[in-house]
A and B are shown apart, each in its own frame.
Chain A
Amino acid sequence: MTLSGYEALFFWIFGLAAIFAGLLTVMARNAVHSALFLISSLVSVAALFILARAEFIAGVQILVYVGGVMVLFLFVIMLVNVGAEERGREEIFNNQRQVTASLIFCLLLVGGVLYSVNQGYRGLQALHPTTPELAAAQQATREQSLPTSGTGSSKLTHDSQGLGGVLFRYASLPFEIASVLLLVAIIGSVMLARTLRQEASADDVDPEALREEIARDPEFAKLEPKSE
């Protein structure tokens, strides 16, 4: 796959935006800023998906990540935010030695991964030799054969259709398992986020935990289940 012209320009714009937004996610002091930078990184990666002709996945990425997961993150940040980090009192990174060790590890990882990508891609190129001109010509012939859209100004692709076909032909069992996983996630997060008060009103409270809580705060005594 070789991009050219405007596609190459947009590839570099969105690629660099993704990387810099990722860096700022890790380095921002305020967790809300981190979340906003993560959103821009995810949107840039969605744009790269479109450049790689995966429109459906790009849409899913924006709907699920930006629309769902990141809103959840922002809610939780606002629920638990201690506000200490904006005031600059708290250190946002681990202690010096841990940071140094992990940065050395990451630099080694960068070197290793970039070297292996380079070597591996050289091997792939030897297997399927291609030039940018050849790739552009192949792309043009492929687009010629696609049907035009209703307005006649663009072409319709089969990419989402192909994805759906493959998904239900070869991966229908994992698809069903994924739905069960999501159900488990819903039940689990509801269970985990319940307060003691909600547990007691649902008559689902651990008596020992309740006794400890009453010892700390007598206010909780009225939550104790009545025994007939």
Chain B
Amino acid sequence: MTMLNFFSPIVALLLQEAPRTRFDLMREAAANPDLSKFLVIGALLFIIGVAGVLTRRNIIVIFMSIELILNAANLNFIAFPRYLYETGSVNAAAGQIFTVFVIVVAAAEAAIGLGIVIALYRNKETIWVDEIDLLKW
């Protein structure tokens, strides 16, 4: 009997619910991704695109990084209308039409930009941006 008295607090300690740690909270948040996770992925894609524009030498890859940046903005334009729809705002789809226009402008920009790249390649014989220094003197 004395033995049981000795062990019972230990058993009680083992059986009690563990306090919610930071790790538990993170696991719960990962199991239920919400608006902020969409925004974080959009932000990371945006910054990868900015890094590509700033560091690459190939002008075509710089254009691709710009597409990545525009796409990250589109992700935000899609995530917010969804959130606003669930909080019961009127005209929740209004955010999605911005995405349509961003895609239109991105397509036009790609066509013009690649036309410029071809004209530049004909005149300068290079696609490296540090060799395209027509404005330098």
A residues at B contact (CB < 8 Å): 1-4, 8, 11-12, 15, 18-19, 22-23, 25-26, 31, 34-35, 38, 41-42, 45, 48-49, 52-54, 56-57, 60-61, 64-65, 68-69, 72-73, 76-77, 79-80, 82, 85, 90-95, 98-99, 102-103, 105-106, 109-110, 113-114, 117-118, 121, 124, 128, 132, 135, 138, 159, 162-163, 165-167, 170-171, 174, 178, 181-182, 184-186, 188-193, 195
Contacts and interface: CB of A to CB of B under 8 A. Distances in A.
Contact of A26 (B56, B127, B128): B56
Contact of B86 (A93, A138, A178): A138
23 contacts: A19-B44, A22-B68, A26-B61, A49-B74, A57-B74, A64-B103, A65-B106, A73-B60, A82-B127, A91-B57, A94-B54, A95-B130, A106-B47, A106-B51, A110-B43, A110-B47, A118-B36, A162-B92, A166-B93, A166-B94, A181-B104, A185-B111, A188-B112
A38 B37 CA distance: 21
A73 B58 CA distance: 13
A188 to B, nearest CB: 5
Q: Which 3 A-B pairs have the closest CB atoms?
A: A192-B115, A102-B54, A185-B108
Q: Is the interface of B mostly helix, strand, loop or mixed?
A: helix
Contacts, number: 245
Contacts of A15: 33, 37, 41
Given A73-B60, A73-B110, A184-B108, A163 B96 contact: yes
Given A4-B32, A114-B43, A192-B112, A85 B101 contact: no
Contacts of B86: 1, 135, 138
B48 A192 contact: no
Interface string B40-72: 110111111111101111101101110110010
B132 interface: no
Q: How large is the interface on B (under 10, 10 to 19, 20 to 34, 35 or more residues)?
A: 35 or more
A56 B35 CA distance: 20
